[in-house]
Amino acid sequence: MRLPANVLVFAQDNIDTYKRFSDFVNHYRFVTESIKKPYDETVSFEEKAQKVHDDMIAEIETKSGRQVKGVEPYLAMSDPMIRYGFFAVINARIDAILPDALVDSIGAYTDIRVGGFGDNFAFEAKPRDLFSVTVAGRGKRRSELKKQFNGQVTITPIEHDITVFVSLYRVLAGQENLAEFVMKAAKSLETQMTYDAYDAFNTAMAALDNAGDDALRISGFSQATAVTLAQKISAWNGGRKAIFVGTQVALSSILPTNTNYRYDIQSDYVKVGYVQTFQGFDCMVLPQVADYKTPFTLKLDDTHIYVMSPSSKPIKLCLEGSLLTAQDDIYSNANLTQATTLKKSWATGICTSDVCGLIEIS
């Protein structure tokens, strides 16, 4: 795990606890999402969750300068320094894992940038066109003047909030695990950022021209049109070979036109659900995402195959500062509940001079 600069400053001498947290995150994502990343398989998930919880409680004591273990929960709850340390540690853990989680889900088409508070993000798109060559006479000193200008896009992050009930009492009493709460909050933020980036990307691709010889959006899959589009994308991106990108369902449509092909049960197509290389162009799967706005639906379009060069990242996701929290006082509500709002600022935008294409599967 590569820690952001603000987390490194906050962690100071506690880097080892963040390494253990990284191992727990990888294990958590394997258990909940079947995403396989290296983690210590000799220790159970439950043991790791408890160890991370204990690490966080110890760091809360360090940052607050107060003792938490052995103190009656109702006394600890009333200490503003403990509440400060509690949410400061949560914020640092979430900021530590967000960038890596986002790369796994949207890194294929998204350039993720992290800045400080108050930062705006400026991106330049350099022209991809070449200078035209003019036929000239020998007695002519110069031809038509040529000049190109870079385009620029500025992105200003916008605040997004999650308001939840956090039972500090139950955490301090050992009845709730702090590590699991942090993972759920981080997953919520990651999912919304994924939605924003994918919506921007899909909207841009759907707006591509679909008529004439210069079409970058084609309807229906065929071997000839897919390869032609991939060649076009490669050529206009300076020779950088294009790849086919889509969900596993979408990529399963990429098959040779010849019906005499046969696939046995040991073939890559049967094992992974798609061909990993088609006519010399690689295929890359986008992990499908649950659309929590509608029960049991999926977010990514299974009828879209995107054609792009691997280095093309048209979407820019800009994260501002670290996570902020605002919480009620423990006795501010009549029913003694305590609401906490997690605040994170980000925005997405499009800035690229590279060419991308879209195949809409009929």
- The DSSP secondary structure of 150-219, one letter per residue, reads -EEEEE--EEEEEEEE--HHHHHTTSS-HHHHHHHHHHHHHHHHHHHHHHHHHHHHHTS--SSTT-SEEE
For residues 312 and 298, is the Cβ–Cβ distance under 8 A?
A: no
215-232 confidence digits (pLDDT tens): 999 999 999 999 999 999
Q: Which residue has the tokens 């006795």?
A: 331
DSSP characters for 309-359?
A: -TT---EEEEEEEEEEEEE--TTSSTT---EEEEEEEEEEEE---S--EEE
Predicted local distance difference test score (pLDDT) of residue 246? 94
Predicted local distance difference test score (pLDDT) of residue 336? 66
Token pair belonging to 34:
């079947």
Token pair belonging to 328:
């009620």
DSSP 8-state symbol, 231: H
102-114 confidence digits (pLDDT tens): 988 899 999 999 9
334-355 confidence digits (pLDDT tens): 766 678 889 999 999 999 989 9
Helix axis angle, 45-64 relative to 80-106, nearest 10°?
Answer: 130
Written as one letter, the residue type at 121 is F
Predicted local distance difference test score (pLDDT) of residue 14? 84
